[in-house]
Amino acid sequence: MNSPAASARDPQDYNTLDDDTFRITVRRWVEANYPPEIRNPPKRLHWHENKVWFFKLSEKGWLAPSWPREFGGMGLSSSKQLIMIEEFERHGCCRFNDHGVIMVGPLLIQHGTEAQKQHFLPKILSGEYIWCQGYSEPNAGSDLAALRTEAVLDGDHYVINGQKIWTTLAMDANWIFCLVRTDKNAKKQEGISFLLIPMDTPGITVRPIITLDMHDEFCETFFDNVRVPRENLVGQVNKGWTMAKALLGFERIFLGAPKQSQYALARLKQLAERMGVWEDESFQDRYVRLRLDIADLRELHATYVEIVRRGETLGPDVSQLKTWQTELFQRITELSLEIAGENAALLDPMEGNRELHPSGLYLQARPATIYGGSNEIQRNIVAKNVLELPDR
Amino acid sequence: MNSPAASARDPQDYNTLDDDTFRITVRRWVEANYPPEIRNPPKRLHWHENKVWFFKLSEKGWLAPSWPREFGGMGLSSSKQLIMIEEFERHGCCRFNDHGVIMVGPLLIQHGTEAQKQHFLPKILSGEYIWCQGYSEPNAGSDLAALRTEAVLDGDHYVINGQKIWTTLAMDANWIFCLVRTDKNAKKQEGISFLLIPMDTPGITVRPIITLDMHDEFCETFFDNVRVPRENLVGQVNKGWTMAKALLGFERIFLGAPKQSQYALARLKQLAERMGVWEDESFQDRYVRLRLDIADLRELHATYVEIVRRGETLGPDVSQLKTWQTELFQRITELSLEIAGENAALLDPMEGNRELHPSGLYLQARPATIYGGSNEIQRNIVAKNVLELPDR
Amino acid sequence: MDAAEDRNESLRMLRDSAAAIAPRGGDLKRIRDLRFSEPGFDRAVWREICAMGWPGLRLAEDVGGSGLGMREFVALVEELGAGLVPEPLIPVAMAARLLPADHLASVLSGERIVIPAWQERPNSLDAVGGTTLSGGKVTGKKMFVPQAAGADAFLVTVQGGLALVQRDAPGVSLVLEQTQDGGNFGTLSLDGAPAEAIAGDASDALEEAALATSAYLLGAMDRAFAMTLDYMKTRQQFGRTIGSFQALQHRAVDLKIQISLTRASVEAAAATLDSVTVPALRQSAVSRAKARAAEASMLVTKQCIQLSGGIGYTDAYDVGLFLRKAMVLSNLYGSAALHRARYAAVTPEQDDE
Amino acid sequence: MDAAEDRNESLRMLRDSAAAIAPRGGDLKRIRDLRFSEPGFDRAVWREICAMGWPGLRLAEDVGGSGLGMREFVALVEELGAGLVPEPLIPVAMAARLLPADHLASVLSGERIVIPAWQERPNSLDAVGGTTLSGGKVTGKKMFVPQAAGADAFLVTVQGGLALVQRDAPGVSLVLEQTQDGGNFGTLSLDGAPAEAIAGDASDALEEAALATSAYLLGAMDRAFAMTLDYMKTRQQFGRTIGSFQALQHRAVDLKIQISLTRASVEAAAATLDSVTVPALRQSAVSRAKARAAEASMLVTKQCIQLSGGIGYTDAYDVGLFLRKAMVLSNLYGSAALHRARYAAVTPEQDDE
């Protein structure tokens, strides 16, 4: 882990700017400061690759747009936050190791003790503490509440035993925020608590998972009698489930954004041109369907963004968005494989051009319907909570 | 009801012919005797329209290929029966009111008393008794065993009360074979019996159901204190379910035959030519997919026909065939509507040509996935009995 | 924020006013009774509709209209689609957009019904065609004229403009064909029929009619879906409510997604027509909406039949009325395939990103 | 009946013999260990395969073959697909069909591996191309040569015939690319390389290779599906076996239907190759089978990943090996689209009825 640069606080209150001025401000700064070599990365980058961007944001004081200004954030309104996201996406900025900023910070601001806030928040903003998330377990995937990693109080310490899986970029992190079971006798969703654990605590083992696309974004994390001080508990004991659910609020609109599908469609076009099928009427017929599927996704997504912009809470119907976007993303990559001919077989990009890599994109698209709540779960949610279909 | 012609017994044992000779024999006879005005009817014909064909077969002694010769049937081997079906289909012969021959005859031959056989079988073959089937009820569709039409013994008579639905061509029939509940306290599938009921018994009311395609093939049949002699019970009391299930054996291979889809594809081609899209590459792309779907259906169907030819019993996996055929049939009619332009709206055939009637064929295809056990039920059967997936 | 809230409030009021003609959740007896009759709708109800000002909703107030936008029109038509209202609002509103001020009063009052006749071949959005007006006489042939049986006059598109032809004028022959929804299409043959020349071009009014048809389909599929959900919540088989079966639940969710996409697409297109004047952008938005509405309405209504089981296949069951309506409107004012092709032709690739 | 029973018995025995190389339900450690190695398969296992006579299965007995038909070859290859056997049986058997008798012994014994090199552009079934043989020297470029890293020689298709080129001959350059299944494709550049002229035409051997590839895909998807069913019967979530969820059950049934269609199609095509000599009928049958196998195998294996949830996305989970194999073989010897187009071109319409 490199030593972090100092984080700054941006003195300006950007909420006072009109939207267009703010958008231009962000755009100019990003264009001037974003490292060109990591624009539009085809895979999720590791800390050693993305930290240069992290520190740029940290130094500028723009790392935490949603945090209140008193804690070092920008305190931006929802609509201004969305503008920032749009501009970052437009420029092709990578996602950095953002669990600290997106998950842990807001959690502590709402539920943390004064001491926790004072200790952790500055170190999140400076990049000193880099986080990963310990939620899923081998037998608690779709059914997350079935988690069994256990934390037992022993004097002033919790002793943790168990296993987490799909801990994104755990090998890059020096802290993990975990859901653990603190009451085995309570009902499933109860008896779960939130713990913050340094990754260098004895008893923690991290093992990367190689995924279908041969990437090592995810890990398994094992806990063998891992001891952490009880002050590392966030919020009330046995109330972790409610806090975790609230943190998931934004995830589905994020996973339902048209960006992935748009990226895949642009690659499909490039490939079709390369393969000489671009002008084929039957290809065009399928291509325009996908264009329209994205166009309508964009409109549907905009209606949810509008809800966020108004500061309202997203309902369970946002699961529709995640379902449609992820399956559309996959369909685009499937058509890419179909037209790639024998190149569909290749492990590496075609002709050394990373934008011509249909097999890679196809494999990268596979988990989209599994993570963030599998699409089967999303459909259950819509069926039960939106359509109000019965259980029996 | 017209008075029937006399039925004959064909003295020849066709099993002694080789397959090709038999096929030619059937083909020549059909070509010479089938009424040309009812070839390839677009809808199921009523008795007054199809009886001319019924009586031709009856006079020739070919009405009941599967019945033993001692009861007036042809006593044909399975493979010879299939040749007859193939030749009838090839020529575009209509389906007549065949419940007597296909369902009631075999039921009585296996489970009937001597008196029942002597009374009913000749009258089935002569066309004196025309049958309809009383299985489904408004609250017992997919869940047939939930039927509630009740038969209570009162002296030497059963008294029947209740309602049947989807009684095919009930207005043409003078007898109905019914599943009725004879024991209300037994478990669902038990306590069901088979009764034969004359349609002119006081208390029976028939009401045609107009279907989406504006046809009156189906009826509702109401029973209000209908009295029939207890001799009209077939087989043992409370054992009707098992007998009924055995009769359904052939239905799924019949519903899975490629004929419907082939007919629809030929109409699609005609329509595409008429609409000027036949040469379009994108149409051809979709058309060849459908051709291949039929071609593979034909091969899969042939594997099941081969099982029948060998005289073996069809397993639950034949539900795959019904599922695929009916959904393919529907997909073909859906593409027809898509390319028909504004003509898709028309109630009647285009330009007075009954072969250019995309809206009619589309609507006729709708129930294919509902009747004969809905496709949802077929998928349940395959999931449980073929894939052996668990209930919990 | 206030302006947006005001607008939402006025949309709500307009939707509510539609309940006078198409009561929400009301039965469909009136609709059923009018099927396969002539003209296929109720002239008295049409006058009520006119009294509420709907055919002139989009017209300026100084010519007797309400001066409202496509967003309002689309919201209203969606409600009428939910009620399967057969009165010819979409074609008459299209005619009203094209008629000069001095012809409007009798049309907006409902006294006379003028239906546009623009189409000369199937699967076409060409609003002009080969029909000619010369020396006050019009000659040509128009097809698929919706609800033609109820027209008092036709607003015929001709080369270089429009022509108003009275139905009972000499040289006019009208052949009617029944449609699956119980209405009718007319084939209008004009053989030197006397006509009044009207200046103008029907293209943009046609865009509005195509988008309004998408909204009608949206309302129809949404109501059919709601009825099917109700059925799924009550129908019992195997000792369970059929709506509890997961395979049916997931299928229902897929239909819901299509309805949501259609709504987003239709509403965005209406906003585009209200704010953008570039023809390509307007056409792009309309084609996107109509392509989605056409396919989604066919998918949703056919699945509603399947989810209803045997009863869904009876003509007596109301969900079938929605399927029939989708069969009629999906390909009217351009099929999904036609609109997809037009979308591809008029929409620059970078607009996707 | 006896002949048919005999034949079924011999097919069963052949399938059983495949278990020596690909144990039914056996683990895939050998397969996994060989991935991304060179040549991507095990030469010792290849010699075992040769000892069982598989490369010559289709050859006449007087040239050292077994004299069996495509039905037998397809049954065998299906079993190898179930075990993801990476040894190059399909290409070598193709070469063996083309080599003269005096070249066969060393190939059938496994001593030398000869791989056909016929393809010059992507998405093509043109077995000839523009490569030329003149004065004993061959010049041209061949692509997508499967398992090329293990070849001792290439049987190159040239205008007017074939040419046998040793791998280490001057003027031969071979560039390897790794494939998703852990094997490799070779791009073979021939610049005046010395070659031996062989009379013949690769077209029909190519049909056999395409059909065998379909059978391999059938075996692979069937095994992946069986593994997934096992997972669905054991994996618990929400206190239930996930295989009890109806939405997953119905999806599994749809996969089963595709597998059944593929099996029927592949077996019928094999029977056609064994009994019909008309080229169009043979091509039609092969194209039907390959089009189905290509699409079905991609559908089945991708759904097997989805049905397995997160674990399905790990490289360590075996089902992914089947997905990768489908990615490699679906488009090899012609993609689904290519075979559909060819089917349409060679199959008279009335054959559908």
Q: What is the pLDDT of residues B25-60, one digit of tens each?
A: 999 999 999 999 999 888 889 999 999 999 999 999
Who wins on pLDDT, A224 or B86?
A: A224
Domain end marker among B223, B243, B263: B243
| B62 contacts B11 by C-beta, under 8 angstroms | no
Does residue A88 fall inside a structural domain?
yes
Backbone dihedral angles phi then psi of residue B267, each to the nearest 5 degrees? -65, -40
Distances (CA, A) of A323 to A255, A267, B370, C254: 9, 22, 28, 9
**pLDDT above 70 for A175:** yes
Does residue B141 fall inside a structural domain?
yes
Task: Supply B155's token pair.
Answer: 């002296």
Percent of chain D with pLDDT over 70: 98
Does residue A174 fall inside a structural domain?
yes
Q: Return the pLDDT at B278.
A: 97
pLDDT one-digit tens code per residue, C48-107 = 999 999 999 999 999 999 999 999 999 999 999 999 999 999 999 999 999 999 999 999
Q: Residue B336: count other Cβ atoms within 10 Å of its Cβ.
A: 27
Residues in chain D within 8 Å Cβ distance of B292: 288, 291-292, 340, 343
The DSSP symbol for A312 reads P
Residues contacting residue B349 through CB under 8 Å, at least 6 positions apart: B355, B356, B357, B360
A214 and A147, same structural domain?
Answer: yes
Percent of chain B with pLDDT over 90: 82
A158 and A286, same structural domain?
Answer: no
Q: Do residue C349 and residue A269 have CB atoms under 8 angstroms apart? A: yes
Residues 297 through 316 of chain C touching chain B, CB cutoff 8 Å: 298, 302, 305-306, 309-316
Subunits adjacent to chain D (3 or more Cβ pairs under 8 Å): A, B, C
Who wins on pLDDT, C248 or D351?
A: C248
B268 and B239, same structural domain?
Answer: no
Does residue A106 fall inside a structural domain?
no
Q: Return the pLDDT at B3.
A: 45
Q: Closest approach of chain C CAs to the CA of D249, in angstroms?
A: 8
Q: Say yes or no: B386 contacts chain D, CB-CB below 8 A.
A: yes
Q: Which of B191, B145, B381, B182 is nearest to C238 (CA)?
A: B145
Calculate mean pLDDT across residues A239-268.
86
Domain end marker among B243, B277, B307: B243
Q: How distant is the alpha carbon of residue D100 from its chain centre?
A: 23
- Total domain count for chain B? 3
Q: Do residue C244 and residue A389 have CB atoms under 8 angstroms apart? A: yes
Question: Within 13 A of A45's CA, how many CA atoms are on the CB side?
Answer: 20
B303 and B255, same structural domain?
Answer: yes
Task: Supply C301's token pair.
Answer: 């209504």
Distances (CA, A) of A16 to A19, A20, A308, B309: 9, 12, 19, 83
Does residue A112 fall inside a structural domain?
no
Distance in angstroms (rounded) separating the CA atoms of residues D292 and D288 = 6
Q: Return the pLDDT at A372.
A: 86
Q: Closest approach of chain D CAs to the CA of A201, in angstroms?
A: 27
Q: Say yes or no: D2 contacts chain B, CB-CB below 8 A.
A: no
B205 and B255, same structural domain?
Answer: no
Which is it for strands A150-154 and A157-165: parallel, antiparallel or unpaired?
Answer: antiparallel
Residue with the two structure tokens 């020297």: D137
Q: Return the pLDDT at A1.
A: 41
B271 and B199, same structural domain?
Answer: no
Q: Return the pLDDT at C350.
A: 67
| D49 contacts D107 by C-beta, under 8 angstroms | no
Tell which of B347, B350, B359, B381 to mutate to test the C interface (max C CBs under 10 Å): B347
pTM, to two decimals: 0.95
Does residue A316 fall inside a structural domain?
yes
Q: Which of A175, A298, A180 is nearest to A239 (CA)?
A: A180
Backbone dihedral angles phi then psi of residue D87, each to the nearest 5 degrees? -65, 145
How would residue A249 be classed by pLDDT, with cut points 50, 70 and 90? low
Average pLDDT, chain B: 93
Distances (CA, A) of B323 to B328, B373, D289, D334: 9, 10, 21, 29
Distance in angstroms (rounded) separating the CA atoms of residues B147 and B55 = 35
A197 and A287, same structural domain?
Answer: no
Residue A197 pairs with which residues in a beta bridge? A176
The DSSP symbol for D166 reads E
Does residue B108 fall inside a structural domain?
no
**pLDDT above 70 for D31:** yes
Distance in angstroms (rounded) separating the CA atoms of residues B366 and D66 = 52
Q: Return the pLDDT at D350.
A: 67
Q: Return the pLDDT at A6.
A: 62
In chain C, the domains with their CATH numbers are 3-108 (1.10.540.10), 114-198 (2.40.110.10), 203-346 (1.20.140.10)
**pLDDT above 70 for A250:** no
A355 and A261, same structural domain?
Answer: yes
Question: Within 13 A of A144's CA, how many CA atoms are on the CB side?
Answer: 20
Calculate mean pLDDT across residues C330-343.
98
Q: Which domain holds residue A153?
A: 131-243
Search chain A and give the residue with CA nearest B282.
A282
Distance in angstroms (rounded) separating the CA atoms of residues B110 and C103 = 79
How would residue C332 be classed by pLDDT, with cut points 50, 70 and 90? very high
**pLDDT above 70 for C353:** no
How would residue D5 be classed by pLDDT, with cut points 50, 70 and 90? confident
Q: Could you give the 3-state DSSP secondary structure of residue A319?
A: helix
Calculate mean pLDDT across residues B336-360.
96
Calculate mean pLDDT across residues A92-100.
93
Residue B256: which CATH number? 1.20.140.10
| C59 contacts C97 by C-beta, under 8 angstroms | yes
Q: Return the pLDDT at A187.
A: 87
Residue with the two structure tokens 């229902």: C252
Backbone dihedral angles phi then psi of residue C172, each to the nearest 5 degrees? -100, 125
Q: Tell me the residue length of chain C.
A: 353
Q: Return the pLDDT at A2.
A: 44
**pLDDT above 80 for B287:** yes
A278 and A234, same structural domain?
Answer: no
Beta strands in chain B (DSSP E): 131-134, 150-154, 157-165, 175-181, 192-198, 204-209, 218-229, 233-234
Query: Which of B324, B376, B392 is closest, CB to CB, to D257?
Result: B324
CB-count burial class (<10 Å; 0-12, 13-18, 19+) for D56? buried
Distance in angstroms (rounded) separating the CA atoms of residues A348 and A360 = 7
pLDDT one-digit tens code per residue, C237-280 = 999 999 999 999 999 999 999 999 999 999 999 999 999 999 99
Calculate mean pLDDT across residues C208-226.
98
Q: Closest approach of chain D CAs to the CA of C246, in angstroms?
A: 5
**pLDDT above 90 for C26:** no
Calculate mean pLDDT across residues D313-319.
96
Active-site residue (options: B128, B251, B327, B355): B251
B87 and B26, same structural domain?
Answer: yes
Q: Say yes or no: D10 contacts chain A, CB-CB below 8 A.
A: no
The DSSP symbol for A392 reads -
Q: Say yes or no: C233 contacts chain A, CB-CB below 8 A.
A: yes
**CA atoms C116, C121, C127, C128: torsion sign:** negative
Distance in angstroms (rounded) separating the CA atoms of residues C151 and C167 = 7
Residue A133 pairs with which residues in a beta bridge? A177
Query: Which of B212, B344, B376 is closest, CB to CB, to C313?
Result: B212
Q: Which helix (H) or strand (E) holds D268?
A: helix D246-275
Q: Do residue D233 and residue B386 have CB atoms under 8 angstroms apart? A: no
Q: Which of C153, C157, C159 is nearest to C172 (CA)?
A: C153
How would residue C25 be classed by pLDDT, with cut points 50, 70 and 90? confident
Q: Closest approach of chain A CAs to the CA of C271, in angstroms?
A: 11
Residues 296 through 315 of chain A touching chain C, CB cutoff 8 Å: 296-297, 299-300, 302-303
Backbone dihedral angles phi then psi of residue C103, each to the nearest 5 degrees? -100, -5
Residues in chain D within 8 Å Cβ distance of B265: 352
B/e letters for A146-166, b = 16+ CB within 10 Å, e = fewer, are bbebbbeeeeebbbbbbbbbb
pLDDT one-digit tens code per residue, B221-273 = 999 999 999 999 999 999 999 888 877 656 778 889 998 999 999 999 999 99
B/e letters for B6-24, b = 16+ CB within 10 Å, e = fewer, are ebbebeeebeebeeeebbe
A292 and A234, same structural domain?
Answer: no
Q: Do residue A296 and residue C246 have CB atoms under 8 angstroms apart? A: no
Q: Closest approach of chain D CAs to the CA of C243, in angstroms?
A: 12
pLDDT one-digit tens code per residue, C300-317 = 999 999 999 999 999 999
How would residue B2 be classed by pLDDT, with cut points 50, 70 and 90? very low
**pLDDT above 70 for B220:** yes
Does residue B102 fall inside a structural domain?
no
pLDDT one-digit tens code per residue, B160-215 = 999 999 999 999 999 999 999 999 998 888 999 999 999 999 999 999 999 999 99
Question: Within 13 A of D101's CA, how many CA atoms are on the CB side?
Answer: 6
Q: Say yes or no: D250 contacts chain C, CB-CB below 8 A.
A: yes
Q: Do residue D249 and residue C249 have CB atoms under 8 angstroms apart? A: no
B251 is catalytic: yes
Task: Supply B333's token pair.
Answer: 């009619």
| A142 contacts D309 by C-beta, under 8 angstroms | yes
Which is it for strands B175-181 and B131-134: parallel, antiparallel or unpaired?
Answer: parallel
**pLDDT above 80 for C115:** yes
Calculate mean pLDDT across residues D23-43.
95
Q: Return the pLDDT at A142.
A: 84
Q: Residue D323: count other Cβ atoms within 10 Å of its Cβ.
A: 28
Q: Do residue B285 and residue A282 have CB atoms under 8 angstroms apart? A: yes
Task: Supply C25's token pair.
Answer: 């959740």
Domain end marker among B96, B117, B140: B96
**pLDDT above 50 for A350:** yes
Subunits adjacent to chain C (3 or more Cβ pairs under 8 Å): A, B, D
Tell which of D250, D308, D314 to mutate to test the A interface (max A CBs under 10 Å): D314
Residue with the two structure tokens 């008896």: A191
A282 and A234, same structural domain?
Answer: no
Alpha helices in chain C (DSSP H): 2-18, 29-34, 43-51, 70-82, 89-98, 101-108, 203-234, 246-275, 279-308, 319-329, 336-346
| C82 contacts C21 by C-beta, under 8 angstroms | no
Distance in angstroms (rounded) separating the CA atoms of residues C318 and B31 = 44
Q: Say yes or no: B281 contacts chain D, CB-CB below 8 A.
A: no
| B210 contacts B153 by C-beta, under 8 angstroms | no
